[in-house]
């Protein structure tokens, strides 16, 4: 494996992204290096491209963006035990601390110390992305890469829609973006 890769980087504090050659991430003991096969564009990535006020106060420059992806494990850290090189995977884009009150109570989605892939740490608009083993999501063989790359927004839609007992209820979904459409589909079928 080469030690350099192509990546889309927010390398300037202005509108745009730039294709650059940067070092391939070096996985730590609990990390998994994934060769990205497909990556989807999220509204977050559009905010970063536009360099709007949210992006300006949130995104450190330079930053490899992107967090919706699928790929194949290329390398694992020395302490990784649950996944193997060659496995098809996607990943949860929110890296949580595992130590705060919410994490210890099983509410990692409310972790105060969350680091977003492609927001606070290098993302998936690159040939490789590195995430902790606990964030790796295996992909069933019958799920195509184009679907696996949108596990992240689909997971958000499912989690939100199923947070409530919807049987016999009217449901209003505001917003017809990908997550809104997926949420409406989940609500309709529940």
Digitized pLDDT (tens) for each residue of the chain, 190 residues in all: 679 999 999 999 999 999 999 999 999 999 999 999 999 999 999 999 999 999 999 999 999 999 999 999 999 999 999 999 999 999 999 999 999 999 999 999 899 999 999 999 999 999 999 999 999 999 999 999 999 999 988 988 998 888 889 888 898 989 888 899 999 999 998 8
Edge-first strand listing for the sheet containing 136-138: 128-132, 31-40, 68-76, 88-91, 136-138
Could you tell me the pTM of the whole model?
0.91
Do 117 and 184 lie in one domain? The reply is no
Cα 164 to the chain's mean position, in Å? 24
Q: DSSP string covering 123-171, please? A: -SSBSEEEEEGGGEEE--TTS-HHHHTTHHHHHHHHHHHTTS--TT---
Do 43 and 19 lie in one domain? The reply is yes
Do 81 and 24 lie in one domain? The reply is yes
- The catalytic residue positions are 44, 47
Do 107 and 135 lie in one domain? The reply is yes
* CATH, residue 62: 3.90.180.10
In the chain, the number of structural domains is 2
Do 17 and 37 lie in one domain? The reply is yes
Domain interval for residue 121: 4-143
Report the pLDDT value the prediction gives residue 1, as an integer from 0 to 100. 66
Burial class of residue 172 in the structure, from the number of CB atoms within 10 Å of its CB (0-12 exposed, 13-18 middle, 19+ buried) = exposed
């Amino acid at each position: 494996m080469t030690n350099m890769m192509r990546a889309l980087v927010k390398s300037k504090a202005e509108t745009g992204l730039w294709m650059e050659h940067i070092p391939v991430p070096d996985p730590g003991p609990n990390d998994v290096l994934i060769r990205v096969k497909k990556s989807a564009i999220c509204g977050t990535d559009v905010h970063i491209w536009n360099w709007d006020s949210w992006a300006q106060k949130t995104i450190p420059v330079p930053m490899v963006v992107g967090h919706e992806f699928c790929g194949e494990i290329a390398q694992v850290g020395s302490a990784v035990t649950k996944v193997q090189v060659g496995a098809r995977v996607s990943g949860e884009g929110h890296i949580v601390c595992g130590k705060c009150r919410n994490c210890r109570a099983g509410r990692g989605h409310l972790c105060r110390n969350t680091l977003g892939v492609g927001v606070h740490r290098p993302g998936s608009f690159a040939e490789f992305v590195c995430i902790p083993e606990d964030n790796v999501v295996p992909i069933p063989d019958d799920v195509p890469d184009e679907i696996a790359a949108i596990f992240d927004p689909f997971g958000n839609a499912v989690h939100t829609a199923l947070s409530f007992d919807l049987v016999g209820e009217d449901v209003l979904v505001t917003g017809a973006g990908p997550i809104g459409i997926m949420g409406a589909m989940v609500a309709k079928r529940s």
